[in-house]
Structure 1
Amino acid sequence: MSINYRIVLVLGAIVVFAFVLRKLKKTEMSVANSVFWLLFAVALVIAAVFPSVVFFFSGLIGIESPSNFIFLCVIALLLIKCFTLTVEVSSLRERLDVLAQEIALRDKDRHERYKTKRESVDNDVR
């Protein structure tokens, strides 16, 4: 693994750290999501600082180029994260639908009670 590639990995990790910490400071990201990205950045640093680990695992799996192994791992991790976020979005959509239905039912009930009160007041006035 070339020194340039290792420098790019470390710089990428630093950018991820800075971006995540900035989003955390502005409370634009949850702590649970930030942990994933911080661990992701740590893994990039470990891969850059200890290339022998990358060589070992790429040889173990049978991938000739360690950089291809890193790309494979990054793609796999991002696909897993994408899947978990899709599941979370689906769950939130379902909850949003239920909340919208509950609000609609409450509004309908409130409107019917108001209508009934108004009719009784109108009947008393006559």
Structure 2
Amino acid sequence: MSPVLRVVLIVGSLLALWVVINRVRKKKIRIADSVYWVVCAVLMILFAVFPGIAFFFAGLLGFLSPSNFVFCMIIVLMLVKLFNMACDISKLTDKVEQLAQELALHEKENEDKGM
């Protein structure tokens, strides 16, 4: 893994940690949601500081270069997060629809009582 990539991983991970910590302090993100980002940043720092880990897994999984493994891992982690967010959005959409239907029923009942 090139020294430039290692530096980029460290700087990017530290920047991500700083952003997440600031968002938690300002209460703009829940702590449960921030855990994912902290774990990802720590993984990237580990790969940058100890490139032997990336070399091991790259060889084990058949990647030609450890940097390809790191990039692939980042993509996979983002896809997992995207899927989880899509599931959360789907649940919230169902809840909003249910609440709108209940509100419409209550308004209809109130109109009927008023007549």
- 1:79 matched to 2:79: yes
Match of 2:6 in 1: 6
* Cα shift at 1:2: 1.6
* Cα shift at 1:32: 1.6
Letter in 2 for 1:71: F
Match of 1:22 in 2: 22
- 1:61 matched to 2:61: yes
Q: What stretches of structure 1 move > 4 A for 4+ residues in a row? A: none
Letter in 2 for 1:45: I
* CA distance in structure 2 between the partners assigned to 1:17 and 1:113 by the alignment: 56
CA deviation map 1:48-92 (0-9, x unaligned):
000000000001111111100000000001001100110110011
Task: Give the greater-gyration-radius structure (CA).
Answer: 1
Match of 1:51 in 2: 51
- 1:42 matched to 2:42: yes
Equivalent residue runs for 1:82-97 within 5 Å = 82-97=82-97
Letter in 1 for 2:11: L
Q: How many residue pairs are counted as aligned between the two chains?
A: 115
* Cα shift at 1:114: 1.7
* Cα shift at 1:36: 0.2
Letter in 2 for 1:17: L
Structure 2 unaligned spans of 5+? none
* CA distance in structure 2 between the partners assigned to 1:64 and 1:31 by the alignment: 37
* CA distance in structure 2 between the partners assigned to 1:101 and 1:27 by the alignment: 31
* CA distance in structure 2 between the partners assigned to 1:89 and 1:50 by the alignment: 37
* Cα shift at 1:26: 1.6
Secondary structure in structure 2 of the residue aligned to 1:45: helix
* Cα shift at 1:95: 0.6
* CA distance in structure 1 between the partners assigned to 2:30 and 2:95 by the alignment: 19
